Amino acid sequence: MTTCEMKGFLSFLIMWFVKKKPMSGTEIALEIEKRKGTKPSPGTIYPALKDLKDKELLSIDKEKRYSLTKKGEKELETHLNMFFKTFCDVDEMKSCCGGHK
């Protein structure tokens, strides 16, 4: 098992967001809200961020923005490969369900 537990994909999403650009906890919560329709509470986001930082998958700068470490990049790549392998037929799934987003 890898070091990043994928509880509800929250860790996966956080790592995906900060791979694109460094983000604060608030920015991450807003990004999740855009996708999910509800904004997660600080009690959800910050423990996950702390866990990822403790595992040395994320670093934090003086502006309190999180970014991936080299170890985090490798971990994300592993989980992306697992995700794509698991959901290789996502286009078929979407068409089956009427194209729901």
Q: Which two tokens stand for residue 64?
A: 């309190």
Quote the mean pLDDT of the chain.
85
Give the up-direction half-sphere exposure of residue 101: CA atoms within 13 A in the CB hemisphere.
4
Structural domain contains residue 1: no
H helices of the chain, in order, are 10-20, 25-36, 42-54, 70-86, 90-96
Alpha-carbon distance of 9 to 47, in angstroms, equals 14
2: in domain: no
What is the model's pTM?
A: 0.77
pLDDT of 69 higher than 60: yes
> What local confidence, expressed as pLDDT, does residue 5 receive?
42
For residue 67, the enclosing domain spans: 7-96
Q: What is the CATH number of the domain that holds 32?
A: 1.10.10.10
* φ, ψ dihedrals at 67, nearest 5°: -145, 165
Predicted pLDDT of residue 19: 95
Q: Where is average pLDDT lowest: 20-29, 58-67, 85-94?
A: 85-94
Q: How far is CA 26 from CA 19, 44, 94, 95, in A?
A: 16, 11, 31, 34
Angle at 19 between CA 54 and CA 91, to 5 degrees: 120
Domain count, the chain: 1
